[in-house]
Amino acid sequence: MKKIAMLTIAGALLLGITQVEAQKPGKWVKLFNGKNFDGWRTYNGTGISDIWKVEDGAMVMTAKGGGNLVTEGQYGDFELELEWKISEGGNSGIMFHVHEDPKFKQPYQTGPEIQVLDDEKHPDSFKGAEGNHKAGSLYDMLPPTDLKAVKPAGQWNKAKIVVKNGRGESWLNGKKVVDFPTKGPEWDKLVENSKFKGWEGFGKYDKGHIALQDHNDKVWFRNIRIRELK
Q: Which residues of 215-230 are buried (b: 16+ CB within 10 A; e: fewer)?
A: bebbbbbbbbebebbe
DSSP β-ladder status, 91-98 and 78-86: unpaired
Number of structural domains the chain divides into: 1
- On whether residue 1 sits in a domain, the answer given is no
Q: How many CB atoms lie within 10 A of CB 180?
A: 18
- On whether residue 17 sits in a domain, the answer given is no
- On whether residue 15 sits in a domain, the answer given is no
Tens digits of residue pLDDT in 67-77 = 999 999 999 99
Task: State residue 12's pLDDT score.
Answer: 43
- On whether residue 183 sits in a domain, the answer given is yes
Q: Please determine, for residue 1, whether its predicted confidence score (pLDDT) is greater than 60.
A: no
Among 8-12, 80-84, 127-131, 187-191, which stretch is predicted with the lowest mean pLDDT?
8-12
Query: What single DSSP character describes residue 151?
Result: P
CA distance 159 to 173: 6
Residues 6+ apart with CB under 8 A from 31: 39, 40, 71, 82, 210, 224, 225, 226
pTM metric for this prediction: 0.89
- The H or E element that residue 171 is part of is strand 167-172
- On whether residue 20 sits in a domain, the answer given is no
- On whether residue 7 sits in a domain, the answer given is no
* Residue from 20, 119, 25 nearest 81 by CA: 25
- On whether residue 3 sits in a domain, the answer given is no
Domain that holds residue 43: 26-228
- On whether residue 165 sits in a domain, the answer given is yes
Instruction: Look up the CATH number of the domain holding residue 53.
Output: 2.60.120.560
For all residues of the chain together, what is the average pLDDT? 92
Tens digits of residue pLDDT in 141-172 = 999 999 999 999 999 999 999 999 999 999 99
Predicted confidence band of residue 25 (pLDDT cuts 50, 70, 90): confident
